[in-house]
Amino acid sequence: MTEQTPETETTDEPTEEVVESGDGQETTSSTETAEEEPETFPREYVEKLRDESAKHRTRAQRADDLGQRLHTALVAATGRLADPSDLPFEESHVDDAEALTAAIDELLLRKPHLASRRVTGDVGQGASKSGETVDLAGMLRARA
């Protein structure tokens, strides 16, 4: 109950046609040769296109580099991270200040050790008031 349909074979071989000219001479022509020849462009045109593409690639690379530098500067301007490069670059952070703030908040929740630290109070370093003379014996008596 199966129906079989005859299959036709297709070949990629060029077919030749015999063409008779008006003077009785037969010539053969190949129909495939015209289709096989790739379309070519002049060398100058191709070089011009390649140069144009190279310029576009360098401009795009430059724009990416400037975008990353701007991102790092925006993160540093917030002052919330010790190292602004800790936040990975994302293009939406450059356009939207709220997205940048949310990303920094989320990063600091996951990794609080990345937050910038500011020292406050007397840490025992730097210039101090030296209006009085130092009394070492008095210091020892006060701690005894």
- pLDDT of res. 117: 86
* In-domain check, residue 64: yes
* In-domain check, residue 27: no
- pLDDT of res. 14: 53
Task: Supply the range of the domain harboring residue 104.
Answer: 43-114
User: Is residue 74 packed enough to be buried (19+ CB in 10 Å), middle (13-18) or exposed (0-12)?
Assistant: middle
- pLDDT of res. 144: 76
User: Is residue 71 packed enough to be buried (19+ CB in 10 Å), middle (13-18) or exposed (0-12)?
Assistant: buried
* In-domain check, residue 109: yes
* In-domain check, residue 90: yes
Alpha-carbon gap, residue 97 to 52, rounded angstroms: 35
- pLDDT of res. 28: 54
* In-domain check, residue 98: yes
**The whole model's pTM is what?**
0.53
Q: Could you report the average pLDDT of every consecutive run of 10 residues in the chain (144 residues)?
A: 55 54 55 66 92 95 93 92 90 90 93 87 72 82 85
* In-domain check, residue 84: yes
* In-domain check, residue 123: no
Q: How many domains does the chain have?
A: 1
Alpha-carbon gap, residue 95 to 122, rounded angstroms: 41
Residue 24's region, left for phi above 0, alpha for psi from -120 to 50, else beta, is: left
